Chain A
Amino acid sequence: MTISNEAYAALEAVVGRRYVSKDPGIIVGYAWNTSTGANPQEKEIPSVLPLAVVLPSTTEEVAAVVKTCNKYGLRHRAHSVGWSSFHNVSQNNTVTIDLRRMNQIHEIDERNMVAVISPFVTAGQLMAEAMKRGMTCHVVGAGPTHSPLASATSGWGGGIGSASTGHNARNLLALEWVTPEGEIVRIGSAGSGLGWAVADGPGPGFRGVLRGVSGAVGSMGIYTKIGYKLYPWYGPKQLEPTGRHPQLGIKIGDNNVRFFHAVWPTWDGAKEGAFEINRSGVAQVMMRMPPSNIGWTLTETNTDYVQLVDSDALPEIARPENGRAWSLVTTAYCKEQDAYNERVIRKIVDDTGGRLLDVPQEYCEVLARALVTSCYVPRVMRPTGFIGTGFGVLESFHLYTRTVKATEEVWADQDVAKKNFCVIEGETEQNWMWTTERRHFWTENIEIPNKRTKWAMMRTYFLNEHVIERQKVGISAMCLGPMVDMFGPGSGPDVNSYMRQIKNTFDPNDRGDSFWYISAKSAFVNRLWPVIKPVIFSRPFRPLLNNLGRHTAKTK
């Protein structure tokens, strides 16, 4: 399938010849299927490629490109940094709009603690600039190279630093939106020419309609500029690197940035401790990583890690028996606050039956960097090159232990776990946990698939979603695309119907590539799903489930 000469010339007229391409060698770079949420199948160039790639530089150009696509009957999909498979076009007749040239930090409004940013500003860049002014920004799990605008407007938005930097559903303030029809709309205070510090509201807002919990994943117009909430940062104005590449750390200690790692003998103890640390508000970053993931971060290579395991030389912090743990980074604006932070943490950990591990300084610095800049995920990609995350739960912190049990249920099925995952001896789950705004609880049961049973990953995804629903452990934030009709109602009655109404209202001609959000029409199989589901999740029907996973993967 190719783009017509007329349509191509029209795109060239908008952005200039240099910034549009239909060359297969160029567009193939926009069709690399990998990363979070993709199937762990062998890498292959997807069958569907964009017809062309366009690089606009202004909102007006984006609008003109969208209108041009509409005029010639083409779909469009926005692309920012390209982390994860959601950048791929999934339907024929689609143009990729690469927003790389829109990389401006327009303003950092210190008074209102807001950054006004374009799509291709990365979190690492924004963090560096914000820290110079005593602030920091939320960085989602994908790490410093992700686009905060893309996350805030279009996808999930939880991140390691959520305890003090919120969730991107709420970090999104005023915004500029090019509708699927190509109209430029400003929402919130920007709509009234009053700056970018205020989202719409009070009450239910249009921001929520557009974004919801998971975002429309690039299927409903293009966001070109947002106000993005910033947060206080008491640490140094520039992170001072320590260590030797690749074991880069940040300077901690006498600059009032500290790292602690607390472990408890039981999950209940860890829950109680975390709950109190949350309430105290002393932790800038607060995260639980499985010990194996910490081990991967503390080693330069997979071989180094395996050798440590084989020689029983893993550092204490990376040993499976210390998995009921929380890593903490504290920051303070003075020595007294720094000392107070430590006293509070020590008392809470002590009172809840835990203990603080004595972690070597070098490790503290590496882990502090991983937590502050959120560079954990790319490193965790190292073992197998892929992470699957079928279990993303955003809920009350009270669900902590129940959620752990639910994920352990998936892992207890050895048939599933050992065949499908990179199983770490002694670990019974792979939960990445953090708290959002020191209240909500987020966990992702990050399964590292081994590639030999690639289709089984889909089966595991289904099982995770089923467990979430059955155990009532909250909203699955990973429920996207075709899964919405199957599992979306578990998040609330008629969720999928509302999403479809929104999609069809604001994109009546289905011009935005909608695979990862929701299809314009519900598939026939979805009507049968309430009947099929109880049967298919019963143990005798596991082979059928496996085939369903295979089918879903193929249709993707």
Chain B
Amino acid sequence: MSLEDRKWHIEQCIRCHNCKFTPIAKSQRYSAICPAIQYGEFHAYSASGKIITAYGMMTGRSDYSVETLASLTTCSMCGACDTTCNTLLERKVAPMDTLYEIRAKIVNDGKSPKQHHQLITNLVNHGNAFGKPRSERSTWAAGLSIKSASKEQVDVLLHVGCQNAYDEKQWPSLVAIVEMLEKAGVTFGILGDDECDPGGLAYELGYRDVAIRLAKESSRTIRASGANTLVTCCADSLAAFRNYHRRMGVSTDIRIFHVTEYIEKLLAEGRLVMRASSDEVVTYHDPCRLGRLSEEFVPWSGQWKEIDGPINRGMAVSDPPAPKRFGLGGVYDAPRNLLRKVSGVRFVEMERVREFSYCCGAGGGGKEAHPEFAEKAAMDRLDEACSTGATTLVTACAGCVRHLRETARNHATKIEVKGLIEFIMDSSD
């Protein structure tokens, strides 16, 4: 796949604006769906604009410039545009597929932002995007007697993820997860310092070679553990396993759960009991990579063609039928169900939820290359959270927690941001 291969799809863009708005607007204030156009204002910042710009480049009408690159890279790769475009046009335009190719072309042409390049250098040299030593990856587990899945046979491989492993604020949540698994009698282990970033970020940044290398390495170490189930604490990693690995042709052949799904399963099986209570008003932010971007990607090879018969002539159909992708396969219910199990909690929804969730701006390299963009996205999301009357904003992605928490602190926003496990932990008897 290359950008050239996306030409027909770009041509199907009807510039209808649906990549900018949620299809079920409940108010004007929270009707936007794309944080990039909300920040950049010019059409070129939207998904439609980005792919038209790419089309202009393909047809010699535009080229790289500072402004063009800014419009193309101001994006958290959150996938909202793709979901809303598919609402009306199925996979004909599928803007995310083109955005991935645009990023790859930018890298191939040597135009990637230096901040993205730094992230990749960190991933290559240290196995994480933060540039932290690989040897510190399992510092969080010091003093805990967790099995090493590299050395001992375990049923469940607990995949920690870079954000959790290197952010000290996440460590209590990791410890709590370990305690829950132990209470439930799960035979589990971790890969410790051998755990790899699974390559999702590299894929989103357009560094395909690095992404494939990381995906394969990650897959190899997971398979080598012999575990039959992988439970990841990291939303980014879940998106990598369920979505990006399949785009890269990497298969791990293992059952994969997000930790919220797995805890919900343990509770349903009666292996775990939650005793938690809170009188707080809580709202929940769907992380993009736990939600729509973790929808399983089903590889498809075929072509779109226009019917040539006398009837329905000209109608574009995929042959064989392309898998549907409407954002429904993300993890939406498990986090909500866990929140509702905290007795006394009053759960209120924001207007933009589930597959139409509004991104906080933290992902896809957007924050590193364009921090003001990411800050605006987070401010907009925090504003929406506050509008519900909630006192606590809970989410299930360490990246979202960190970004939203920093932004809330910097702007003295009157809402507390917590990770889901952290919230349950704080509410536990």
Which chain A residues have a beta carbon within 8 Å of chain B's beta carbons? Answer: 19, 21, 23-26, 28-30, 32, 34-35, 42-45, 49, 53, 55, 81-83, 98, 100-101, 105, 121-122, 124-129, 132, 142-145, 238-239, 241, 244-246, 248, 300-303, 306, 309, 375, 378-379, 381-386, 418, 421-425, 448-452
Contact = CB atoms under 8 A, between A and B. Distances in A.
A57 to B, nearest CB: 10
Nearest to A385: B12
A378 B14 contact: yes
A29 B49 contact: yes
A26 B315 CA distance: 31
Contacts of B317: 301-303, 306
Given A145-B17, A383-B316, A26 B42 contact: yes
Given A248-B87, A309-B311, 16 more contacts: A24-B62, A25-B53, A25-B68, A45-B59, A98-B41, A121-B28, A122-B17, A122-B21, A127-B25, A128-B28, A145-B17, A145-B18, A245-B83, A303-B318, A309-B312, A422-B314
A26 B68 contact: yes
Q: Which of B10, B56, B83, B321 has the most CB of A within 10 A?
A: B56
B20 interface: yes
A144 B13 contact: no
Given A125-B28, A306-B315, A424-B312, A23 B67 contact: yes
Interface string B352-375: 000110000000000000000000
Contacts of A450: 306, 313-315
B27 interface: yes
B15 A25 contact: no
Contacts of A30: 43
B118 to A, nearest CB: 24
B17 A128 contact: no
Contacts of B18: 145, 378
Nearest to A128: B25
Given A24-B63, A28-B56, A83 B313 contact: no
Contact of B31 (A124, A248, A424): A124
B328 interface: yes
Interface in B281-334: 306-308, 310-318, 321-322, 324, 326-328
Given A34-B15, A145-B21, A53 B42 contact: yes
Contact of B71 (A25, A143, A248): A25
Q: Which of B43, B63, B91, B311 has the most CB of A within 10 A?
A: B43
Interface of B: 10-18, 20-21, 23-28, 31, 41-44, 46, 48-49, 52-53, 55-57, 59, 61-65, 67-68, 71-72, 83, 86-92, 306-308, 310-318, 321-322, 324, 326-328, 355-356
Contacts of A101: 41
17 contacts: A25-B64, A28-B44, A34-B13, A35-B15, A55-B42, A82-B43, A100-B43, A122-B21, A126-B28, A128-B31, A145-B17, A302-B318, A381-B88, A383-B315, A385-B11, A422-B312, A451-B314
A34 B10 CA distance: 12
A246 B25 CA distance: 15
A248 B313 contact: no
Nearest to A49: B61
Contacts of A421: 313-314
A303 B312 CA distance: 11
A3 B31 CA distance: 35
A246 to B, nearest CB: 4
Contact of B326 (A82, A246, A375): A246
A26 B44 contact: yes
B90 A55 contact: no
A168 B65 CA distance: 42
A34 B92 CA distance: 15
Nearest to B24: A241
B4 to A, nearest CB: 15
A382 B53 CA distance: 22
Q: Which of B57, B313, B317 has the most CB of A within 10 A?
A: B313
Contact of B306 (A121, A248, A381, A451): A451
Contacts of A28: 44, 52-53, 55-56, 61-62
B62 A34 contact: no
B314 A452 contact: yes
A235 B26 CA distance: 14
A238 B25 CA distance: 9
Nearest to A378: B88
Contacts of B318: 301-303
Given A245-B355, A302-B317, A26 B16 contact: no
Nearest to A35: B14
A81 B32 CA distance: 13
A449 B316 CA distance: 12
A19 B25 CA distance: 27
Nearest to B55: A45
A14 B41 CA distance: 17
B119 to A, nearest CB: 24
A43 B315 CA distance: 16
A382 B312 CA distance: 12
Contacts of B15: 32, 34-35, 82-83
A364 B385 CA distance: 33
Contacts of B53: 25-26, 28-29
B281 to A, nearest CB: 20
A143 B21 CA distance: 12
Contacts of B316: 302, 383-385
B14 A381 contact: yes
B379 to A, nearest CB: 17
A32 B63 contact: no
Given A35-B14, A35-B16, A83-B15, A25 B24 contact: no
A36 to B, nearest CB: 9
Nearest to A380: B88
A346 B26 CA distance: 33
Contacts of B89: 378, 381-382, 385
B61 to A, nearest CB: 5
A401 B62 CA distance: 51
Contact of B68 (A19, A23, A34, A448): A23
Contact of B315 (A32, A83, A145, A302): A302
Contacts of A29: 42-44, 46, 48-49, 52-53
A125 B25 contact: yes
Given A21-B42, A55-B41, A245-B83, A306 B307 contact: yes
B41 A100 contact: yes
B24 A300 contact: no
Given A25-B68, A424-B311, A378 B44 contact: no
B311 A423 contact: yes
Q: Which of A385, A386, A424 has the most CB of B within 10 A?
A: A385
Contacts of B314: 383-384, 421-422, 448-452
Contact of A239 (B24, B28, B49, B91): B24
A239 B23 CA distance: 12
Contacts of A43: 10-11, 13, 55
Nearest to B90: A301
Contacts of A35: 14-16
A245 B328 CA distance: 7
A504 to B, nearest CB: 32
B52 A32 contact: yes
Given A28-B62, A301-B321, A422-B312, A246 B21 contact: no
